Chain A
Amino acid sequence: MKRLFKIYLDKPELAGVVLLALLVVLFEITSNGFFLSYENMRGVLGLLPEMALVAMGVTILMIAGEFDISVGSVFALAPMTMAVSMVAGVPFVFAALLGLAAAAAVGFLNGLITLRFAIPSFITTLGMLFVARSVTVVISGGFPPVLPADIPSWIFTAFVGLIRLSMFWFAGLAVVLAAILSLSNFGNWIKSTGGQIEAAAAMGIPTGAVKMTCFVLCALLAGFAGIVEVLRLGSPLPSLGEGLELQAIAAAVIGGTSLYGGVGTVLGAIVGALLIRVIDNGLVLSHVDANWFKFAIGSLLILAVVANAWLRRTSRRIKLET
């Protein structure tokens, strides 16, 4: 029993799962049974992948000990690059690859500047937040290009019963990323780089390359998520994804990712993203003024950090015999 309790305390994402269950019950009651209906779940789950993809990238980068707050702008830049290319006559697949390449380039620059000049990634990516957003608006020419009608958007947007196809892409990526993080040696390198960089470097881990990979991965996931969203909407707005970076970091932290690096899980990021989506939707269905949404997320974020610190302290006090 004590052992189970300690295992529970050591995994903050489990606390998130419990909170999620409580909120689902609460919203089910306050929405008079509409929250868990087929139609509403279709909506909630259909929108989940777009934010959860970004949250996973941010989480992995935070585990490696760095931040990226430019993801909201990359989320807009990648699909805008894709749309502008398609308007110029580039076929869909190549245009999508160009969009991802633009995202990867931003991630690479974030990593290069942060590592080369040894400055906090918070500052590098804050700058990049403005730069990438500006580029997005400039290449859009001021008004959003319309995507051609004949592109296969259905590979992300079509529904199979309750589930939108984007969910399968997201779930596949989540499984791969979770496996890399917890089962592969590269995952061990990421955790050691973020946990204690001197120790990792002394053991021969190429910490710079590890961080660079995570910067690029984070930007790629944000760009991919943006492309998925734009294929659903049909046209990229230059303001797409504004504020998303903070929601993604909030999702990561709510899911138990440490702000000091070394600690976090892919599952935690997904639970965090799901919590934010559920609160967003549940408040609306409960006829609460929508402006309370940010209040709720903000409170949850602070609560999560306080609770995680408390969980860790309590867990440390429980000593198990061998």
Chain B
Amino acid sequence: MQAPLIETRGLHKWYSGVHALKNVHFQVFKGEIVGLVGDNGAGKTTLIKILSGVHPPDEGEIRIEGRKVDIATPKQAMNLGIETIYQTSSVVPTMSTARNLFVGREPLKASVFGFGFMDQTRMRRDSLKAIEDVDLRVRSPDALVGELSGGQQQGVAIARAMYFKSKVLILDEPTNQLSVKETNKVIGFVKALKSQGVTGIFISHNMHHVFQCCDRVVAMARGEIVFNKPVAETSIDEVAEYM
């Protein structure tokens, strides 16, 4: 069988005496969207923060396509193809769409030690294309992201991950604080990811959202994985019993 795209083995994490992750074995295979559910404090966010390079694990290892890796910073996670979208703070509202799309990865016309002038023509052109690729319309690449709706803002973040050809897209409660209509938009983006063969981890409190757009559901409770089944073989009620 093919090695999982991402695999954690025996992951442990303590936060000032609290055992937040206990021996977590978590796998994501290429092309699937995994729904990660669990109550507050179940360890979902801790697991995601380790995978996206925000915190290091205290024990255990992470493998990407079978190869053991260290993820010490968000930048390293991004270089390994792991891109994370957080609930509200994934984009900078005071900057244009084009600048947001390339923040930290600006194409440069000329550079000295990594600093230089940005290729703004390319940023405008490519950001428009990237956004159209996720079926999102914005009137101009120069419009401020803060003027877009909450769902559209998440769309910009998703377009960014797609543009940089991320292997895995982690969506950490991307529908929190959004209206029903905007939530449906985000779920639409996630479904579109699947049709383009992108692998994803979708974290949510809301089981309905997970069942709408994921292939497999993994539930966590008290720092452990307590449930792991394809969506087609289970039901919301069954998952809820384990949480």
Contacts and interface: CB of A to CB of B under 8 A. Distances in A.
The answer to whether A and B interact is yes
A202 B73 contact: no
B89 A263 contact: no
Interface string B173-186: 00000000000000
B144 to A, nearest CB: 8
A320 B144 CA distance: 13
Given A185-B108, A205-B104, A263-B94, A198 B140 contact: no
A184 B89 contact: no
A289 interface: no
B123 to A, nearest CB: 9
A322 B138 CA distance: 8
B93 A196 contact: yes
Contacts of A261: 94
Interface string A1-44: 00000000010000000000000000000000000000000000
Contacts of B114: 185
A192 B95 contact: yes
B104 A189 contact: yes
Instruction: Name, among B78, B104, B115, the residue most crowded by chain A CB atoms within 10 Å (CB to CB).
Output: B104
Interface string B185-215: 0000000000000000000000000000000
B73 A200 contact: no
A191 B95 contact: yes
A186 B102 CA distance: 12
A280 to B, nearest CB: 31
A184 B116 contact: yes
B116 A201 contact: no
Interface in A180-218: 183-186, 188-189, 191-192, 194-196, 198-205
Contact of B84 (A195, A202, A258, A322): A202
B117 A200 contact: no
A10 B108 CA distance: 26
A196 B89 contact: yes
B124 interface: no
A149 B54 CA distance: 58
B139 interface: yes
Contact of A192 (B84, B86, B103): B103
A199 B92 contact: yes
Contacts, number: 92
A185 B95 contact: no
A321 interface: yes
Nearest to A205: B104
A316 interface: yes
A239 B76 CA distance: 50
A204 B78 contact: yes
Interface in B48-79: 52, 54, 73-75, 78
B118 interface: yes
B90 A202 contact: yes
A262 interface: yes
Nearest to A184: B117
B90 A199 contact: yes
A204 B117 contact: no
B84 A184 contact: no
A205 B115 CA distance: 13
Nearest to A261: B94
Contacts of A320: 139-140
B137 interface: yes
Q: Lowest 9 CB-CB distances: which A-B pairs, in order?
A: A204-B75, A262-B94, A198-B89, A195-B94, A185-B106, A195-B92, A203-B104, A322-B139, A196-B92
24 contacts: A179-B117, A183-B120, A185-B118, A191-B94, A192-B92, A195-B92, A195-B95, A196-B91, A200-B103, A201-B74, A202-B52, A203-B103, A203-B105, A204-B74, A204-B75, A204-B78, A204-B105, A205-B103, A205-B104, A262-B95, A319-B139, A320-B139, A321-B139, A322-B139
